[in-house]
Amino acid sequence: MRVLMLGGTGFVGGAVVTEAVRRGWSVTVFNRGLHGSAPEGVHRLRGDRTAPDGLAALAGGEWDLVVDTWDGAPRAVRDAARALAGAVPHYVYVSSGSVYAPPVGLGTAEDAPVFEAGADAGDGDYPQNKAGGERAAVEVFGDRALLVRAGLILGPGEDIGRLPWWLHRVARGGEVLAPGPRDLPVQYVDARDLAIWLLDRGSEGAGGAYNVVSRTGHTTMGELLDAAVAVTGADATLRWTDPDALLAAGVEPWNDLPIWIPLGHEYRWLQERDVERAHAAGLACRPAAETVADTWRWLREVGQVPARAGRPARAPVGLAPEREAALLAALRA
Ligand SMILES: NC(=O)c1ccc[n+]([C@@H]2O[C@H](COP(=O)([O-])OP(=O)(O)OC[C@H]3O[C@@H](n4cnc5c(N)ncnc54)[C@H](OP(=O)(O)O)[C@@H]3O)[C@@H](O)[C@H]2O)c1
């Protein structure tokens, strides 16, 4: 297989490149060359897909599959898809569960309504960008476009820093504010499992939309944080705390305490999507303990969470130590 990766030097694109190289496929990455490096043997094409004539380096190339992680202006997906229409039979667009238009219910499946967004739109909000990116891929490639609606993505290389925040926090030791309930079901996908799945299905020519995350309850907050304690070897005590007490104290799920979205919260659907379509199509999710251990190993190699490749910076996730200490003291009182 000859795969063209648009992007490919960040978290998810990097996982796709690594997996394709592992398979012995011919891999080409296309990006501006501003971030990261590609494994040996990977062909590098340079260009800025937002610039006039920025796709020139793609001219004359031929591939069996293209994978695109773009999350900016939909028109950049449209332009790339048009430029590649005669050069590649199949377009895999790494999309997001954020495309679903509110109100989003628990157990949302792929036929739920998505945001209205034009394929030729400029840069906007993330959900609209992703919905417009989907539309652009489908407009050009029809049912030869595979829309990979990922949810929470974890694993080595994670550049948002959700699991890394927990690992660093637990490694610091002491009393750790652990958001309950301990058996809260969590839904996510390891970037490596996502990469395997999209290359498997993409190379077979699958099309259409898929929610690509684990089943809810593949792991729990308890299992994740226990695994973090185990792999870091930290002298840490998890203080499991009632979710209502945390909410009453102003703790923001997802941002203040990453990954955590309690039952009944308006964004709980982010952890409870219907994923039967992807699982019927072969999605296999490795154990959470492996994701945690490998992420910790990677973090110790790199030291800190890398900047996101070619993406706008995001506010850091996770409570500041002083706030966590104050919350623990207040909750104890
Ligand atoms: N993290 C999550 O939990 C989550 C959840 C759901 C979905 N997702 C999706 O997962 C994907 C994550 O992608 P990623 O950042 O890891 O992808 P990536 O492909 O690994 O990295 C982004 C790439 O884009 C390139 N790039 C940036 N601006 C460019 C430009 N103007 N022209 C050409 N190339 C450009 C960057 O290189 P240069 O800067 O050198 O050009 C870099 O190689 C996104 O599609 C996101 O929507 C993430």
What residue ranges do the domains of the chain occupy?
A: 2-152+190-212, 156-187+218-268+288-324
pTM over 0.95: yes
Report the 10 Å Cβ neighbour count for 282: 12
Phi, psi angle pair for 199, to nearest 5°: -75, -40
CA angle, 55 as apex, 51 and 56 as ends, to 5°?
115
Instruction: Report the half-sphere exposure of 299 (CA within 13 A, side-chain side).
Output: 26
Does the structure show a pLDDT above 90 at 278?
A: yes
Per-residue pLDDT of 248-276, as tens digits, reads 999 999 999 999 999 999 999 999 999 99
pLDDT at residue 157, rounded to an integer: 97
Q: What is the pLDDT of residues 167-192, one digit of tens each?
A: 999 999 999 999 999 999 999 999 99
Across residues 281-292, what is the average pLDDT?
Answer: 98
Ligand 1 binding pocket, CB closer than 6 Å: 7-14, 31-35, 48-50, 69, 71, 94, 96, 130, 150, 152-153, 160, 308-311
Q: Which homologous superfamily does the CATH classification assign to the domain defined by 2-152+190-212?
A: NAD(P)-binding Rossmann-like Domain (3.40.50.720)
Please determine, for residue 333, whether its predicted confidence score (pLDDT) is greater than 90: no
Q: Would you state the pLDDT for residue 240? A: 98
Among residues 96, 284, 313, 295, which one has the least CA distance to residue 197? Answer: 284
For the CA of 310, the nearest atom of ligand 1: 39
Instruction: Give 11 Cα–ligand 1 centroid separation in angstroms.
Output: 7
Fold of 156-187+218-268+288-324: UDP-galactose 4-epimerase; domain 1 (3.90.25)
Collapsed DSSP state (helix, strand, coil) of residue 272? coil
Q: Which residue's alpha carbon is nearest to atom 24 within ligand 1? A: 7
42-82 residue pLDDT tens: 999 999 999 999 999 999 999 999 999 999 999 999 999 99
Burial string for 98-114 (b: 16+ CB within 10 Å, else e) reads bbbeeebeeebebebeb
Has residue 308 got a pLDDT over 90? no
